[in-house]
Amino acid sequence: MRLYPSFFLKFLLGGILISGSSCAQENVNHNNHSEHDLGAIDFSVSCTDQAQEQIHTGLAHLHHMMYEQARPHFQIAAETDSDCAMAHWGVAMTSFQPLWHPTSDEHMERGKAAVEAAKEINSPTNREQSYISAVEAFFTDPEPALDSRPRDHEARVKAWKEAQREVHQSYPEDVDAAAFYALAKVSYATTQFSPEEEPDYTRQREAGALLENYLDEHPQHPGLFHYLIHAYDSTELAPKAEEVARQYDQIAPETVHALHMPSHIFVRMGLWEENIEWNERSAEAALQEMADDPHASAHYLHALDYIMYGHLQLGNEEEARQTLEQIQNVEEVYPAAFAAYNTAAPQARYYLEQEKWEEAAELEPRIPDALPWDDFPAGEVLFYYARGLGAARSGNLEQANSEHEQIKQLVNTLHEQGNDYWGYMSEALAEAVKAWILYEEGNTEDALVLMSNAADLEDSMDKHPTTPGEVLPVRELYGALLLRENRQEEAMAAFEAALERTPNRRNSLIALEQLNNELSSR
């Protein structure tokens, strides 16, 4: 795959540039900020010119996964042209986030209403009717009804994927149809995991190959850039998206989520400087929007978690401390699941990565209190993981056992909710804490077996898109235990395995250097 250096000339000859909130003329500016580029969209619909312009801008935001910024443009299109069915399609498309988390009751209600409004208008073209039918597939309740939001979400994403496949097959020249089908495939893949098997990236490879087929003809399409990064967001596939990642800001130089997205590839490749640079830009853009748009706070914390991760891998202790203060001083947080995770994770990372065990044991849970933590057990677990591991490593086994029980309660909550991915990932953390407790109690072999099993459980599932990586990977903890027992070759294998999953992790590299020096001096 090659992105031509001359794509700007090619684009000017054949596409439509969306700049900020304008196409041919200035339209709504949701946050009253200066205009900025969003990429090239050419999505013809049977609406008035004014409505068409709004739809183009809304669609560009949608492809960048800036859902809250996209929706007002589709709503204005509907107000501008009462016969524009695709305006309501756009509202429905902004009402679910297939890759992030299950849809809330409020958003589900809004999406269903938008679908009905689009159908009532009875779009005059088969293509538009196909798009509307595709989004309707997501908002059609599964039969029989499923008793958990994650399983309900999985069924809806699968239905949407099949419907988007039909749109793509009916209109193979339609780049947006291809982009949404690829996104649906990647989104569905994230719902498919097994703690008994290694991750399978077949669906992601297929989605990436599909998107690559359109890049030469659509070199500034935001969906191609964004979804290709998600398709290749794995250590195995990340190099395939490095070129696209490095060029993403050329089509969206000030869009918060677009500035963050390349770091999904950089962390997979262990490129810490690039990860920090892009997320600093994303965080700054989010800060500028937060005064007018509370949703931006979630993107701000998302970027800070990645920034923290990068600084810790480079050993930038002062920069990491400053990032910690930024996170803990946030006064208002949009209550999204990924925001909760990205709030808790960097606080735990800061102490655990630097082996500040006593400080980790004292980490105050549920900070900042602006979030309804009861709604986000997958994020809350991380506080108790830090506290439990810190207490065990500090020799305070009474506290460590208490924190372990807190984690187990949250694991049970996650499984009861049907949130099995985070349930299993959190279970691995609980077992890691228990393993270190057993080790401190003198039950060395039991500790090693339990830690090995916990590492296998964590490694059997890929990292979630909301996080740059696990909070102190269990495989590294297993290597640390083996080192303590002077099982050098086994420890080396453990740290090498950790680096295969997450290249260039500082702690694993240091441990391997130490081991190599010891073995070479024999």
At residue 520, the pLDDT reads 79
Residues of the chain scoring pLDDT < 70: 1-36
- Give me the pLDDT at residue 17, please: 57
What pLDDT does 198 receive?
A: 76
What is the number of alpha carbons within 13 Å of residue 445 lying toward its C-beta? 0
Residue 46 gets which letter from DSSP?
S
What is the maximal distance between C-alpha atoms in the chain? Answer: 81
Round to whole Å and give the CA distance between 203 and 192: 10
Please report the pLDDT score of residue 199 as a whole number.
79
Q: Specify whether the CB–CB gap between 519 and 487 falls below 8 A.
A: no
Q: What is the pTM of this model?
A: 0.90
What's the pLDDT score for residue 18? 62
Alpha carbon distance 365, 387 (integer Å): 9
Say if residue 507 is exposed, middle or buried (CB neighbours under 10 Å; 0-12, 13-18, 19+): buried
Q: How many helices (H) and strands (E) does the chain have?
A: 25, 2
pLDDT reported for residue 9: 28
- Cα 369 to Cα 362: distance, rounded to the nearest angstrom: 17
Counting Cβ atoms within 10 Å, is residue 495 exposed (0-12), middle (13-18) or buried (19+)?
Answer: buried
Asked, as a colleague might, if the bond just before 262 is cis with ω within 30 of 0, I would say: no
CA gap 433, 390 in Å, rounded: 9
> For 284, what's the count of Cα atoms within 13 Å in the CB-facing half-sphere?
9
Q: In sequence order, which ranges of 36-192 are alpha helices (DSSP H)?
A: 49-63, 67-80, 85-93, 105-121, 126-139, 149-170, 175-190
